[in-house]
Amino acid sequence: MTEKQALTYTEDDIQVLEGLIAVRKRPGMYIGSTGTRGLHHLVWEIVDNAKDESLAGYNDTIIVTLYKDGSVSVEDHGRGIPTGMHKTGRPVPEVIFTTLHAGGKFGGGGYKKSGGLHGVGSSVVVALSKWLEVEIHREGNIYKQRYEYVVDENGLEHVGKPVTGLDIVGTTKRTGTTVSFKPDEAVFTTTKFDYELICERMRETAFLLKGIRMVLVDRRGSEIKRDEFHYPEGIRTYVEYLNEGKAALHPTVYFEGEKDNVYAELAFQYNDGYTETLVSYVNSIPTVDGGTHVTGFRNATTRVFNDFARKKGLLKEKDANLTGNDLREGFLGVLSLQMSDVQFESQTKDKLGNEEARATVEQIVGEKLGFFLEENPEIAKLLVEKAVKSAQIREELRKQREALRGDKKGKGAKKRKSISEKYTPPQNKDKSRNELFLVEGDSAGGSAKQARSAEFQAIFSLKGKPLNTEKAKLSEVLANEEFRTILEVLETDLGDEMNVENCAFDKIIIMSDADVDGSHIQTLLLTFFFRYMQELVKAGRLYIAQPPLYSVTKEGKKSDVIYCWDDYELEAALKKVGRGAKITRYKGLGEMNPEQLWETTMDPENRKLIQIALDENLPASEKLITTLMGDKVPPRREWIENHVTFEMGEDE
């Protein structure tokens, strides 16, 4: 009997763990937020169920369609949800879609490997939607059932109320499930789906489930938009896709292995860059915060490379071991696991907790990588020498930093002239309150120094445009005067060596002019933090200040000022002030006097800040930064041509 034949999926496989909870009242507990991320999480939950059919070996196609009315559908060609009666006396689809923790993924025979393990996905989608319809093609029939959010005549809310039975509406020759739903605008701050975001996620899924066909259709516009993804080589092709725009040092390496019912795949390729990109997954679910499988990978690579380097004499007896940071510079890889009984550390499934995953990945990667290095001595030597050089640079710069910092009490520290000239520290040492402003130029820096609250706000004035850290070598980044100063005043380090808790500031705020140069400075600084201080971004410490674009005053009433951050606010202010309105357009921070700068941009009570967060699709962000900030022009030109519209004026 084959595994497919043994792996049944019937009414008996649906287990109910507990009744429906009013997730509508606390959606953040289940989908993370009620903003864009939470909205799209609804789609991912239903797509995950379709992917589980693919993991089980029964589905080769997933089609997502966006409609004009704001609804979305997810279609698969799997076995179809069982349509019989559950032991609770209700149809199985009704149990799945209206009962929290109900599904075929809790130890029955329905699924051996699953992404939607918590069983809350379908019911959460119902709870947060105006309506949801499920259409099932199974055993020659087409079944349909609809659930709605209903408020009855007594004002009582009914979440996911079945408004039809599970009706047979036709016959069919195929199998599969289509789930359609419309998110409720009363729950979400936005209900507009982002085509590009969904497109990237579906491309990612096609890479991870080799051979599956992922189709996205957008019917919201006047013309139908469609993208299709299909990658028979799986994560090998994924690595090559992510490495486009970089100079690869060797062909893509691919390992796979299985132990204790954990199947692991690793594909990687080093490039001439100086940052690590490792994207990890479990049952095709992205584990943004890593977990035990990533720990196993890192343990194995550090041990195997050091053993090889000492065996071949590339590391001398007196030399210290290479660190993970040294060995992973320029590394770009994809680690993908398939396993049962997955333990995620949250409902949003960002971090894997299974200890057996660590042991399995460590063993598989250790064996396969050791063999690869022995069989490819030229590549192995190149990578080890790259790591040794990195270690030497890090050690030299570590000594320089220690000389600047002195001992634990600061004694013996050397003072550099640039810090006293460009950096103005806060008066207190309260890490939980202090703020560091990275300010464009001496003029704005001077105004900011006068405007700030000296008690808790520090100012660092930048000298022109920062170094482009996407193009620069690590040694150039660490030797750069401005970035070294930023590291010193933050009292932290780069990469894995950085401890967010040691950071001397609760907020790092980029404050630049509202023009093209200011935007470029923001981009360069964001690239630095993304590449080298990602943990600060994850911790929510990085912000962009939003100075106003205009001020509106009435003639003779200078004290009565209305500040405007965009043209819409300007239009509203002009209507309010009426005749005699005077408009001031701020072209730069230096044009505001210190009182205005404090009132509009630095005062915590009145200012507007944008908090920088990592996109949940980290690989897409990684590739975009490489495209826009890297050395290669053709990919950047192609991206601009596809994504930027240039509007010409009448005289142009």
Catalytic site positions = 440, 513, 515, 517
- In 3D space, the residue among 183, 206, 158, 173 whose CA is nearest the CA of residue 67 turns out to be 183
Q: Across the chain, which distance is largest between two alpha carbons, in Å?
A: 91
Could you tell me the strand order of the sheet in which 262-270 lies? 253-259, 262-270, 331-339, 277-282, 285-286
Q: Which residue type, as a one-letter code, is found at position 22?
A: A
For residue 133, give the 3-state DSSP assignment: strand
Instruction: Return d(Cα 351, Cα 287) in angstroms, integer.
Output: 5
Residue 499's Cβ-count burial label (10 Å; 0-12, 13-18, 19+) is: exposed
Both structure tokens of 433: 């309150």
Q: Tokens standing for 250?
A: 């060797």
Give the DSSP letter of residue 454: T
Q: Among 36, 62, 168, which Cα is nearest to 115's? A: 62
Distance, CA of 28 to CA of 38 (rounded, Å): 8
Residue in the block written with tokens 């000594």: 399
Burial profile 185-200: b = 16 or more Cβ within 10 angstroms, e = fewer: eebbeebebebebbbb
Are the CB atoms for 480 and 397 separated by under 8 Å?
Answer: no
Instruction: Please tell me whether residue 15 adopts helix, strand or coil conformation.
Output: strand
- Positive or negative, the CA dihedral 439, 444, 449, 451 is negative
Query: Between the CA of residue 31 and those of 26, 198, 321, what are the distances in Å?
Result: 9, 16, 42
